[in-house]
Amino acid sequence: MPTDVAPPPPAARPSAPRSFARFELRELLGRSLRTMLWLARDPVTEADVLLMLPRIAPADAAALVRWQAQAQHGARLNHPHLVAALEVGVHDHWPYIVCDRAVGLTLDEFLAEHPLPSHNEMAGWLGQVLDGLAFAHEAGVSHDDLQSYSLLIDERRHLRVMALGASCTPVATPDASALDAARGMPVDPAQLRAQRSAAERDVLSVGILAHQWLAGAPALDEADIGKVIDRLAPHGREILRLPWTTPTPISEALRAICNRATHNQPRQRYLGARTLMRALEGWREADAKDDGGPIAILLERLNSVGCFPAMPGIAITVSRLARMEQQRTDEMAEQILLDLGLSFELLRRVNTAQVQGTQALGNGPVLTIRRAITMVGLDGVRSAAGGLRGWPGPLSEENAAALRALVQRVRLAGHVAQMLRPAGYDPEVIFLLAVLQNLGRLMLAYHFPEDAEQIRQLMRSLPVNRDETVAAGAVPAPAERAGMPEQAAAFAVLGVDVEAMTNAVAHRWGLGHDVMTMLRRLPPTLPVHKPDGDDDLLRATASAANEVVDALSLAAGPAQLNSAFDAIAKRYGRVLNLNARDIAAAVRDARQALESGAPLVSRTAQDAVTIEPTIPGPFEAVSPSVNH
């Protein structure tokens, strides 16, 4: 036998099972930078359990006490979407939480054997997680390391959050805080600040989970959600947005909700679990209904109760028109424009498919009251006025007051747009464009008044308790916490945005795609480019006017208002040839026009020939025409 042949290796000995305390560790189910989850066997009960441990032990005895207080408080919470802990313990200075394996599989285990759920079911899952987290947050407990392996799914496909506070970064001692509050003693501001920050981290974690599921890949190519958070603001500089190419198409509403949840500006995110939960619930309801949700309800109400009520004094307006029968149509139009309800009804009547079918080939939608009067005649105007519901329709006194204030605000935007319009453009056209850019807001306030109030509440800035925001050596926080942007608030309440309502009504009226584009405000976060034609220029003018009126309602004082006017001037200065002084002057003149009841600015010699948009036929003519 050759001497260089190695002897066979000895038979491998069976390795001793790994253990922790009394538990026999079977399988590592998940691991992040902060926690790890083991499938283990409890020899006492002879049952499988889930063992959650921090990756790093508490630094000292005081930290261990704080961890135990947090974990035990979370273990005592009873909620359908929280997993009750069987045991909270410590072994060799290393804490752990034990949960019942019989509750279900981890979400990672489930998804390894099942296809990804539909977007609607996924949103429902996230809503269940947020429901449990909201309950915990209200009790002063956070999870602080929400991962997909820390979510259990049962046989009914219901999700629950397990092992609250397992990470060794306890934010407070909830029992002590609750006891101090009950005794009327001041609560440590540092604890309140830490609790709020940890709760916001949990909500951000849910947003990252949503991103992963919708994108079909880990966010930022990182499976550990905690590491992703560390790369986002305010800790890092990464931006997390859903890609446009995804395994399955994503509705714009759901995309907006997900991107808002992971916004690169922390104050623009959903800061509360219930707020994000409501947004997802609203989207699910709209998605689940074959009839299209709030949009379909709105369109149905347009048929049953009309588009908008007549303003008070409609009888006087009609009486004036009767005496003006031999007058110019532009003078009659000025009287009609004082009543948005009558104006909308005329535009609706002349732009329906039946009326458009009788128009000459090549003519497009009508968007001036002058042309509408020409088409329907004075009898048609009387008929339109008679078909309107009287003010304020079915609204309560409080909701009617809110609608009246919105009407005044919208008309002010129309007057500002007239003042800002480039020379030669028809004041009626620009007035109506600025008004119609608010069509969805008016529909919302009239047809969904309670939802409109909820949206206003979400948009309001909230005062911040200075004791909770100023720590030693920290930069003082602002006096107010910014409210949600209108789009995010509308998604949170209705599951659709306000512009979707504008588009739905404009489409029902037959205004066409080109006009609907003009009715969309320019996004405030994007630069304003040089317009390609008259339609782009008028859209920019109306958008600028609406931004000016928004600034008037949001500014806290003259300094903030001047700053807002400067910002608007920088956005639109090159396109509209204006500066902050021009904006201030336009606001002054527009307010005077609104108070005097004048529907339009006086026509000047420069306006004798008016320019109208060059898109195919949305107004009275394609080329410049003389006013009649």
Q: What digits encode the pLDDT tens for the residues 28-63? A: 999 999 999 999 999 999 999 999 999 988 989 999
Burial 395-417 (b: 16+ CB within 10 A, else e): beeebbebbbebbebbbbbbbbb
Question: Once rounded to an integer, what is the mean pLDDT over residues 160-176?
Answer: 72
Q: What pLDDT score was predicted for residue 276?
A: 94
Does the pLDDT value for residue 619 go beyond 50? Answer: no
Does the pLDDT value for residue 234 go beyond 80? Answer: yes
How confident is residue 423, by pLDDT bands cut at 50, 70 and 90? confident
Q: Write the DSSP string, 437-463.
A: TTHHHHHHHHH-HHHHHHHHHHHS-EE
Q: Rounded to whole angstroms, how far apart are CA atoms 101 and 233?
A: 36
Question: Once rounded to an integer, what is the mean pLDDT over residues 346-364?
Answer: 64
How confident is residue 260, by pLDDT bands cut at 50, 70 and 90? very high
Question: Once rounded to an integer, what is the mean pLDDT over residues 538-548?
Answer: 96
How confident is residue 463, by pLDDT bands cut at 50, 70 and 90? low
Which of 316 and 1 is assigned the larger pLDDT? Answer: 316
Minimum mean pLDDT range among 36-40, 262-266, 508-512: 508-512
Q: What pLDDT score was predicted for residue 507?
A: 85
Mean pLDDT of the chain: 83
Does the pLDDT value for residue 622 go beyond 50? Answer: no
For residue 111, the one-letter residue type is L
Minimum mean pLDDT range among 69-83, 427-441, 474-488, 598-612: 598-612
Minimum mean pLDDT range among 62-76, 352-366, 502-516, 568-582: 352-366
Residue 194 has what DSSP assignment? H
Does the pLDDT value for residue 128 go beyond 60? Answer: yes
19-210 placed in CATH 1.10.510.10:
yes
340-351 helix and 397-420 helix, angle to the nearest 10 degrees: 70
Q: What are phi and psi of 57, to 5 degrees?
A: -70, 155
Q: Rounded to whole angstroms, how far apart are CA atoms 596 and 339?
A: 15
What SS3 class is residue 62? helix
User: What pTM value is reported for the model?
Assistant: 0.56
- At residue 293's C-alpha, the angle toward residues 292 and 297, to 5°, is 100
- CA 256 vs CA 242, 250, 468, 488, 624: distances in Å: 9, 10, 31, 8, 40
Q: What pLDDT score was predicted for residue 194?
A: 85
Q: What pLDDT score was predicted for residue 16?
A: 54
Question: Once rounded to an integer, what is the mean pLDDT over residues 190-210?
Answer: 92
Minimum mean pLDDT range among 230-244, 303-317, 346-360, 602-616: 602-616
Q: What pLDDT score was predicted for residue 360?
A: 42
Does the pLDDT value for residue 452 go beyond 50? Answer: yes
Which of 533 and 412 is assigned the larger pLDDT? Answer: 412
Does the pLDDT value for residue 178 go beyond 80? Answer: no
Which of 501 and 357 is assigned the larger pLDDT? Answer: 501
Q: What pLDDT score was predicted for residue 117?
A: 86
Q: What pLDDT score was predicted for residue 261?
A: 94
- Sign of the alpha-carbon dihedral angle for 175, 181, 183, 188: positive
Q: What pLDDT score was predicted for residue 599?
A: 59
Minimum mean pLDDT range among 104-108, 189-193, 308-312, 565-569: 189-193
Does the pLDDT value for residue 510 go beyond 50? Answer: yes
Q: Rounded to whole angstroms, how far apart are CA atoms 625 and 79?
A: 69
Q: What is the pLDDT of residues 329-343, one digit of tens each?
A: 778 888 889 899 999
If one looks up domain 305-461+482-626 in CATH, what number appears? 1.10.3210.10
Q: What pLDDT score was predicted for residue 605?
A: 36
Minimum mean pLDDT range among 308-322, 505-519, 561-575: 308-322
Which of 7 and 518 is assigned the larger pLDDT? Answer: 518
Q: What pLDDT score was predicted for residue 623?
A: 30
Does the pLDDT value for residue 627 go beyond 50? Answer: no
Does the pLDDT value for residue 624 go beyond 50? Answer: no
Q: Rounded to whole angstroms, how far apart are CA atoms 182 and 178?
A: 6
Which of 533 and 436 is assigned the larger pLDDT? Answer: 436
Three-class SS of 532-576: CCHHHHHHHHHHHHHHHHHHHHHCCCHHHHHHHHHHHHHHHHHHH
154 by Cβ neighbours in 10 Å (0-12 / 13-18 / 19+) ranks as middle
Question: Once rounded to an integer, what is the mean pLDDT over residues 552-570?
Answer: 91
What SS3 class is residue 130? helix
Domain ranges of the chain: 19-210, 305-461+482-626
Does the pLDDT value for residue 468 go beyond 80? Answer: no
Does the pLDDT value for residue 353 go beyond 80? Answer: no
Q: Rounded to whole angstroms, how far apart are CA atoms 303 and 190?
A: 56
Residue 50 has what DSSP assignment? E
Minimum mean pLDDT range among 190-199, 424-433, 599-608: 599-608
For residue 576, the one-letter residue type is L
